[in-house]
Amino acid sequence: MGLDSFKDLYLAEISDLYSAEQQIIDALPKMIETATHQPLRDGFSKHLEQTREHARRLEAISRRLGADIDNKKCKGMEGLLKEGQEAIKEGGDPNVVDAALIAAAQRVEHYEIAGYGCARTYAEALGRTEDAADLQRTLDEESATDKKLTQVATTIVNPDAQSNDREFTSSAQRRGQIDQNRPEAR
């Protein structure tokens, strides 16, 4: 499909997002299984249900447009999800792996936020108010998920992941204090 019109661009974005959502639906169960912190597992489980709803919204938009959106592979999402899978394969301290899962999930969220923001803007420009409302709803949910991931990371997972690094952090802080005492550092 060529991009011969703004509608073509809109359809391409919707198709890309639909492929991304399908890939996320496939990837989230493994992330849920791997995560060890219950709030993270719960968040991933909730987002799996939301993601299924996001896909349904895109299918509804597709029906309203009379277009097929199941004809594209989102390579950007494929790459982001591969990075997350690498963290799972590498293994290691479960707390650190959870921190890596959050980082991977936030990259996914940021990609989706960008895509849904563009699609919503295109829908508005095309006068497709119902589509724009559906896309905005999804955009709001993706943003809320990103904020929740940040909260879980900063209050629970990252402090647990740092527990093995206390000695490293202390020695780095001591080096910083020593460096500040050097005459050339003043």
Q: What is the pLDDT of residue 25?
A: 98
1 located within any domain: no
34 located within any domain: yes
User: Domain containing 45: what range?
Assistant: 6-185
Whether the Cβ atoms of residue 106 and residue 146 lie closer than 8 Å to each other: yes
* Banded model confidence at residue 165, pLDDT cuts 50, 70, 90: confident
Number of domains in the chain: 1
74 located within any domain: yes
128 located within any domain: yes
Tokens coding 153 = 């990371």
CATH of residue 37's domain is 1.20.1260.10
**How far apart, in whole angstroms, are the C-alpha atoms of residue 18 and residue 20?**
5
Give the pLDDT confidence of 14-61 residue by residue, as tens digits. Answer: 999 999 999 999 999 999 999 999 999 999 999 999 999 999 999 999
